[in-house]
Structures are given as C-alpha cells and as structure tokens.
C-alpha cells in the first residue's frame, strides 16, 4: 500500500484559503496520509499585500507556528511538518530574507521553506482576477522571464523546494516555440543549487489541466538528478491529498522511485512510490 504525503497546504490565514490547521489535519487523517507539511504563505513586504489577500499578516506568523505545533500534539497518528511558502521578490529580497529568518529560527519554527514565483516585475501572471492581462503579453517573453526568474530564485539558497515549477502555464498559455531549452536550464540550475522541486497536483484543478511540472520538464529534472517531493497546494480541507496518486504515477513514469518528505529537522527522507 502506498504511503501518501502532501507537502504543500495552506489555511485561512493567507486570505485566499479556508479552514484551520486542524481542519486540514483531520481530512489528511481520514484519507490515510502518513505525513503532511503545512506551508502557509509568509507575510509579504510592506505595501505588497495591504489587504492580506495573498499572504498571512505579519501579526499572524507566531500564532500560525504555535497552531501547527499544538495540532501536531493532538494528532500523533500523522507526521505534521511546519513549513512556509515564500515568494521570490528580487526587489525586496532583504525583507523576504528577514521574514524567512523570523519563521525558521525559533524552536517551533518552520523546518521547510517552499519558494515560488508568482510575480514578474510586479505582474501577477497567475492571478485569475487579472487573467485578461495575458492578452497584451507575449507568451514567449513571459516564459523566458519566468524561467530566468525561477532560476534566480534557486540561486538565492533561501528555498528548500521550488513549488509548482512551471506555474507560468496555469491558464494554458504555452509558447509555440520549443520549450526544451527552458526546461534544460531549470533542471541544470536546480541540480547545481541542490534545491528540490515539487510535483504539484494543483495544475490538474486549473485551466491548464496538468501537473506542475509537465512530463517533459519532470523528466528533465529526473535526468539532472533533482530530488522531488509532492503537494496538492490545498486551499480548502477537501483538497488535502487530492490526486497525489497521479503525482506518484507521473514521477514513476519520469524515472523516480521515491518522493522526498521533510524529516522535521532540516533533512529529507524517502517515501517509496
């Protein structure tokens, strides 16, 4: 029987999800998961999220860490890891670095940090509220900018895992030109920097209708020796563990034999696929 894990989960604290930590843990237990990582969006730098619509308010960080810690004590039947997700924001990296430090350098702090690219020079390319902005953009240029930014994020050394690696395809915008050069460079940089990548089932619930990353990029990561974990990017309790079996199958098809799960002290252990 497969041991199912989910290493990318959000709660109501981020402003665009619903449910408490315990709501998510309860569903994970019901679905037979052996491990899960709560990875709330870290507070964004001042002025970037004034209504706390896409990230947790700074005043919530300590309460979030305590909430995960207390819930862990109540559910010993599942391994619960404290994590966070942080945006790569080239213009504000001093603040991002400081916030990551606040979240990780305490006894009950986060032990895994997901990195993500949601903005390209201020453009929220994956925001469904502004999807029409793609109409005035070059898809080829957006992909070029995205993967260049993604590789820069890997090089910071701030992130343990890069979440949803080809998020730029979310609304189905894919260049007519060959994308293999982007994939090869992403795989090379991930391998060089030692960052893990996430195989995310969230793309199956989006207009693109496929996993992040797609099969060709996933094969490139495997060929480069990049370790992979899995996550649902759940924003509602019923999404916990959703279609993780499909992520396992895609990883197996790409050549992987195990998914990585954080050990809670800064390392990783293997979960057979």
Per-residue pLDDT tens over the stretch 132-159: 999 999 999 999 999 999 999 999 999 9
How far is the C-alpha of 183 from the C-alpha of 218, rounded, in Å?
Answer: 9
Per-residue pLDDT band at 8 (split at 50, 70, 90): very high
Q: Which domain holds residue 74?
A: 5-272
The token duo for 12 is 């109501």
User: What pLDDT, on the 0 to 100 scale, is given for residue 1?
Assistant: 76
User: What pLDDT, on the 0 to 100 scale, is given for residue 50?
Assistant: 87
Per-residue pLDDT band at 247 (split at 50, 70, 90): very high
Nearest to residue 254, comparing CAs of 209, 200, 199, 194? Answer: 199
Per-residue pLDDT band at 125 (split at 50, 70, 90): very high
Q: What is the DSSP letter of 169?
A: G
Per-residue pLDDT tens over the stretch 176-185: 999 999 999 9
Q: Using a cut of 0.85, tell me whether the model's pTM lies above it.
A: yes
- Counting the structural domains of the chain, the total is 1
Q: In CATH, what number is assigned to the domain containing residue 257?
A: 3.20.20.140
Q: Return the HEC string of 12-26.
A: HHHCCCCCCHHHHHH
């Amino acid at each position: 029987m497969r041991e199912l894990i989910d290493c990318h989960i959000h709660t109501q604290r981020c402003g665009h999800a619903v449910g408490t930590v315990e709501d998510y843990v309860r569903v994970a237990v019901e679905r037979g998961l052996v491990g899960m990582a709560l990875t709330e969006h870290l507070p964004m730098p001042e002025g970037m999220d004034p209504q706390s619509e896409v990230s947790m308010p700074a005043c919530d960080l300590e309460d979030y860490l305590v909430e995960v810690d207390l819930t862990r004590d109540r559910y010993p039947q599942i391994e619960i890891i404290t994590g966070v997700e942080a945006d790569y924001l080239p213009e504000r990296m001093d603040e991002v670095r400081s916030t990551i430090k606040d979240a990780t350098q305490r006894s009950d702090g986060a032990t895994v940090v997901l990195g993500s690219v949601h903005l390209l020079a201020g453009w929220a390319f994956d925001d469904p509220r502004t999807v029409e902005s793609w109409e005035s953009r070059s898809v080829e240029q957006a992909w070029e900018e995205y993967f260049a930014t993604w590789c820069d994020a890997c090089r910071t050394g701030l992130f343990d895992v890069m979440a949803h690696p080809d998020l730029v395809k979310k609304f189905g915008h894919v260049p007519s030109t060959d994308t293999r050069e982007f994939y090869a460079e992403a795989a090379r940089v991930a391998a060089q920097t030692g960052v893990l990548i996430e195989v995310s089932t969230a793309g199956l619930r989006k207009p693109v209708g496929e996993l992040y990353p797609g099969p060709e990029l996933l094969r490139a990561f495997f060929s480069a020796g990049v370790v992979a974990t899995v996550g649902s990017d759940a924003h509602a309790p019923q999404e916990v563990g959703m279609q993780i079996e499909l992520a396992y199958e895609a990883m197996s098809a790409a050549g992987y034999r195990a998914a990585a799960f954080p050990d809670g002290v800064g390392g990783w252990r293997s979960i057979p696929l």
